[in-house]
Amino acid sequence: MNILLLGSGGREHAFAWKISQSPSCSKLFVAPGNPGTAKIAQNIGVTVTDFESIYQVIVEKDIELLVVGPEEPLVKGIVDFLHSRPKTASLPIVGPSQKGALLEGSKDFSKQFMLRHGIPTASYATFNASQVQEGLDYLENHSLPIVLKADGLAAGKGVLICQSHEEAASSFKEMLVDAKFGEASSKVVVEEFLTGIEVSVFVATDGKSYKILPEAKDYKRIGEGDQGLNTGGMGAVSPVPFADKIFMEKVEQRIVVPTIQGLEKEKISFKGFVFIGLMNKGGEPYVIEYNVRMGDPETEAVLPRITSDFVGLLKDIAHSNLVNHRLEISPMHCTTVVMVSGGYPESYEKGHAITLPSEVSQGVLFHAGTSLGNSGQVVNQGGRVVAITGWGDNLQESMNNAYRIVEKISWENAYFRRDIGKDLVSFRK
């Protein structure tokens, strides 16, 4: 089967790595891909939001399955676009409809959805530009800290946690009146702050049935000990020791089941991945957010643990056959360390040649923000440059294997956190 995968990050390299190992994949194309995916698939120089060109590629290359990696094309409606075209009207796609993608594309929509289906989440209120005074009054009586969220997609920057009422009021005005996040902050969600420890849960669904994939913990802050600015993610581990059987049972019954049933009841077509960002608050799960795709770098720690045929899973999602799918998960532990360009998530230099090991053992190296320099060498291009996953029988062993590989990779001003997984090694309930 010919497969087209959209995206260019570490998540997509991990998808491509897994897909290319499957006996049912005859040809894999990645658009636009990166130098890592180029080694195992054919990259095609088309961006993920150029729907017309993607349509042409699907027709020309006889694509039989499309897998959408990032959220942007989903929120912009790629699935509806392709299904409205004659030659791709029945193309199997892993990725939700535009309505389904609203679970990530609009925080207000996702909060209303949770409320409608009794899914535990922080209490909230939403305000638009004509309700500024109402919003300011609401903030005055709100307990601290106050969480402000731009309604729309804001490249992971749209959440502000305000420690004072003054800060909340001025940020609120900046978002609504000065359009700090452009159209994304034309509505602002004001939310109760949840305290606890976060975990990412991934659910594959065809809109009716579901399979829960291995959970992961993401390390979002740039600095060790979870200090400093938020990033796209500096590392991940899977499994997560505090997400034990009892907790995951609560997640399934209180969150996963009503989410999938809610989609079905509301006739929202959703074939793809629901990524549930959860807070474990004293053993009780609360939804922080939904995403409508896999996480990055969580994917790099989760996919190596799937031992059943990955293309089989993707096909069963797209063909509404998950009910008959047998998902097999390895008990092994994975630790993913992301190496970034020094300066990220603020400004950073690009174009430095990267030294990479020719082979790795007990792990795998994924490209994220790399490109090929003038003389064909791999250089850093993005903030998050490579993601290294190490595996082993326990967390410590997987960390050792990841960091052993990391030590073989270097470029000018490279940075990474040395403490991924460290907080969980001695975790006891």
Show contacts with ligand GLY in window 225-264 (CB under 6 A).
233
104 binds ligand GLY (CB under 6 A): no
Show contacts with ligand GLY in window 297-326 (CB under 6 A).
298
**Residue from 72, 296, 300, 316 that binds ligand GLY (CB under 6 A)?**
296
Counting Cβ atoms within 10 Å, is residue 63 exposed (0-12), middle (13-18) or buried (19+)? buried
Output the smallest distance, CB 156 to ligand GLY, in A: 6
Output the smallest distance, CB 233 to ligand GLY, in A: 4
Token duo for residue 101:
């993608």
- CA distances to 98, 149, 249, 321 from 119, rounded to whole Å, are 22, 19, 14, 26
**Residue from 37, 291, 381, 389 that binds ligand GLY (CB under 6 A)?**
291
x/- string (CB under 6 A) for ligand GLY, residues 160-199? ----------------------------------------
For ligand AMP, the closer of residues 156 and 342 by Cβ is 156
d(CA 128, CA 146): 17
Q: Choose one: 44-52, 288-296, 390-398, 421-429; the region binding ligand GLY (CB under 6 A).
A: 288-296
* Number of residues binding to ligand GLY, judged by CB under 6 A: 6
Q: How many whole angstroms from its chain centre is CA 103?
A: 13
Cα angle at 75 between 70 and 78, to 5 degrees? 80
Cα pseudo-dihedral 19, 21, 24, 28, rounded to 10: 50
For ligand AMP, the binding residues (CB under 6 A) are 122, 147, 156, 159, 191, 193-194, 198, 220, 277, 288-289
- The entry of ligand GLY, ligand AMP, none near residue 69 (CB within 5 to 8 angstroms by kind) is none
152 binds ligand GLY (CB under 6 A): no
Output the smallest distance, CB 70 to ligand GLY, in A: 9
For ligand GLY, the closer of residues 51 and 273 by Cβ is 273
| 180 touches 149 (CB < 8 A) | no
Residue (of 336, 376, 330) closest to 354 by Cα position: 376
Question: Parallel, antiparallel, or unpaired: how do β-strands 235-238 and 217-218 relate?
Answer: antiparallel
215 binds ligand GLY (CB under 6 A): no
218 binds ligand GLY (CB under 6 A): yes
For ligand AMP, the closer of residues 152 and 239 by Cβ is 152
> CB under 8 Å to 377, separation ≥6 — which residues?
353, 354
Output the smallest distance, CB 67 to ligand GLY, in A: 16
341 binds ligand GLY (CB under 6 A): no
> Mind giving me the DSSP string for 202-270?
EEEESSS-EEEPPPBEE--EEETTTEEEE-S-SEEEES-TTS-HHHHHHHIIIIIHHHHHHHHHTT---
3-state secondary structure (DSSP) of residue 402: helix
- Interface residues with ligand GLY (CB under 6 A) are 218, 233, 291, 295-296, 298
